[in-house]
Structure 1
Amino acid sequence: MERVDPQKEHLIALANYKMPFGKYKDRYLIDLPEAYLVWFRQKGFPAGKLGRYLEEVHELKINGLEPLLRKLQRL
């Protein structure tokens, strides 16, 4: 059985994670407006997995790496 690289597994999970609440509920995190992520950065990301994912998506967006996650999204 082939083993998937843990980093790739993490990126696949990140690419397919959706916002669980609020105005952008059910949107992929990578599809959130950058201004919304900047707001979270200023106010503080939530605790736990969602906060870590939001912070990672913010970093990917500001570094122009959105296509990396988009390739991994399930349609």
Structure 2
Amino acid sequence: MYDRTFLIRLVKAKMPFGQYEGRYLTSLPVHYLEWFARQGFPSGQLGQQLATMHEIKINGLDDILKPIIRMHRNSGR
């Protein structure tokens, strides 16, 4: 079943650890996401979000997130 709130939570999520701690997942560099793809994504929601960002970035689909970011980031929704 598709979770309609997944992309909203994705654009609000920040990296909880490591070199890019505190950065939005949407702003992580491709080389960092590729490293996770090679090493294995963490389990749970963070892993799903990182894997999704990897797919979005390697396929050049970053623009699909822009309206979601504008509507939901820092809006309190």
Please tell me the TM-score bracket, short chain as reference: 0.7 to 0.9
Alignment of 1:22-41 (within 5 A): 22-41=18-37
How many angstroms apart in 1 are the aligned matches of 2:42 and 2:51? 9
Q: What 5-or-longer segments of structure 1 have no aligned partner? A: 1-5
For the pair shown, which has the larger CA radius of gyration, 1 or 2? 1
1:1-75 paired onto structure 2 within 5 Å: 6-7=3-4, 9-73=5-69, 74-75=73-74
Q: Which runs of 5+ in 2 are unaligned?
A: none
Q: Which runs of 4+ in 1 moved over 2 A?
A: none
Aligned 8 A contact 1:45 1:51 in 2: yes
Give the TM-score normalised by structure 1.
0.83
TM-score, normalised relative to structure 2: 0.81
Amino acid at match of 2:50: L
1:71 aligns to what SS in structure 2?
A: helix
Aligned residues: 70
Structure 1 vs Structure 2 CA RMSD: 1.6
Identity %: 49
